[in-house]
């Protein structure tokens, strides 16, 4: 049997080391962000006098390339989990593999692309709700005035801590923002000094409107253009021509998500239904499939990462913390020597190059792996923490 160990080489390669059948993978839970989609914002046209490049698909829909890329991930996971004897050849029953997606087109289509490549000709059912799904809906549940006041206070503190002037300068130049309809209509044309308005309403997603929201919306569009394979002179109209420029613009996206999701009480409140769903799979409250695929959004992953208290991390060969197609992968391992169960958590994702160049994945050419660590579950040199410690921690989260 093999256990995958991870070393942070520059190329983020994976070395598979023979451990003489000591470790056995028993269960896997995959929390995934949908793959490549078209830009979401409905207001891009008023943010610049320039003409945006056209997309074939509707706003917010998975693109054909996104389906291809997610298929590559599905094929890799199938090969990897068969290598670890979690899956066998043939079509899995639902007590072996279970797929659950949010109701959005991009999440359902991503799950379909994953399973169709992982299990060709198997007609795997993708489960999803017929209405807004509370498991994936990233809204505030706490309706008290005290909670709202706390959230606004913390969001203001996060906003104040951000250093984005260089990013705003670059964004303004790229957009020619002073000649945009938004500037002409609102007469607020200085991205560095215009006010960011905080929006906190129960049963809605926390949000912002102002320069940082504009920045996040525009950066999202640029990132999707790059992944889709638009020519470099078309991506951001040619302004993002090297890694230094990308490094200057990406803090706008990270800062936006940090403000709306990285207050721990907010994240715990939003992510609680999802955390409970995962906890039920881990704690034996129900008979859990060997492999569960949960296809959601970056909001689900951001809030779960903060709500569960993951340590800070970075992704090699990626500018995003939660790129399209990225997956938080909870793994339960059994150690035949100590006769104990262990937890390992990896972020498995495609690099910017793998996404842009549509690089096929395989065991010999895998996606990127990054070890994730929980503050409340200390890992050993192999990246394992004791499963019973993880179970005790989960119980505190769902009380």
Query: Among all residues, which ones are annotated catalytic?
Result: 34, 298
DSSP string across 154-166: HHHHHHHH---HH
Q: Is the dihedral of CA 235, 312, 100, 140 positive or negative?
A: negative
CB atoms within 10 A of CB 218: 25
Q: Give the distance from CA 256 to its chain's centroid.
A: 15
- DSSP letter, residue 260: H
Which element (helix H / strand E) includes 393? Answer: helix 387-397
Phi, psi of 26, rounded to the nearest 5 degrees:
-110, -35
Write the DSSP symbol of residue 356.
H
Cβ contacts of 99 within 8 Å, gap of 6 or more: 111, 114, 115, 124, 125, 126, 127, 292, 293, 295
Integer distance in angstroms from the first to the last C-alpha of the chain? 38
Taking alpha carbons only, the member of 291, 224, 210, 293 closest to residue 256 is 210
Bridge-partner residues for 14, per DSSP? 6
Question: 380: which 2 tokens?
Answer: 């050993």
């Amino acid at each position: 049997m093999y256990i995958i160990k991870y070393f942070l080489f520059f190329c983020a390669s994976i070395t598979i080391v023979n451990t003489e059948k000591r470790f056995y993978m028993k269960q896997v839970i995959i929390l995934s962000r949908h793959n490549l989609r078209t830009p979401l914002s409905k207001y891009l046209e008023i943010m610049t006098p320039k003409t945006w490049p056209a997309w074939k698909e509707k706003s917010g829909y998975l693109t054909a390339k996104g389906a291809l890329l997610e298929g590559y991930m599905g094929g890799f996971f199938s090969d990897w989990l068969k290598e670890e004897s979690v899956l066998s050849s043939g079509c899995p029953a639902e007590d072996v593999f279970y797929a659950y997606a949010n109701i959005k087109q991009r999440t359902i289509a991503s799950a379909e692309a994953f399973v169709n490549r992982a299990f060709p000709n198997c007609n795997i059912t993708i489960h999803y709700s017929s209405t807004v799904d509370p498991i994936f809906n990233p809204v505030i549940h706490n309706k008290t005035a005290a909670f709202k006041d706390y959230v606004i206070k913390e969001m203001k503190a996060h906003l104040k801590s951000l250093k984005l002037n260089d990013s705003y300068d670059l964004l303004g130049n790229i957009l020619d923002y002073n000649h945009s309809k938004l500037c002409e209509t609102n007469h607020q044309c200085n991205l560095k000094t215009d006010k960011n308005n905080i929006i906190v309403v129960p049963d809605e997603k926390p949000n912002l409107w102002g320069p940082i929201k504009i920045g996040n919306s525009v950066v999202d569009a640029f990132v999707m253009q790059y992944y889709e394979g638009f020519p470099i002179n078309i991506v951001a109209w040619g302004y993002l021509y090297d890694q230094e420029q990308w490094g200057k613009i990406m803090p706008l996206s990270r800062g936006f998500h940090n403000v709306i999701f990285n207050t721990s009480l907010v994240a715990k409140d939003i992510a609680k239904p999802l955390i409970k769903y995962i906890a039920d799979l881990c704690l034996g409250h129900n008979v859990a499939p060997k492999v569960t695929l949960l296809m959601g959004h970056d909001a689900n992953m951001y809030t779960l990462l903060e709500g569960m208290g993951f340590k800070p991390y970075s992704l090699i060969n990626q500018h995003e913390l939660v790129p399209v197609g990225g997956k938080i992968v909870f793994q339960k391992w059994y150690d035949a020597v100590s006769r104990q169960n262990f937890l390992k958590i990896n972020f498995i994702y495609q690099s910017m190059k793998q996404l842009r160049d549509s690089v096929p994945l395989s065991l010999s050419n895998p996606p990127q792996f990054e070890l994730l660590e929980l503050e409340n579950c200390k890992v050993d040199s192999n990246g394992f923490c004791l499963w019973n410690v993880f179970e005790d921690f989960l119980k505190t989260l769902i009380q």
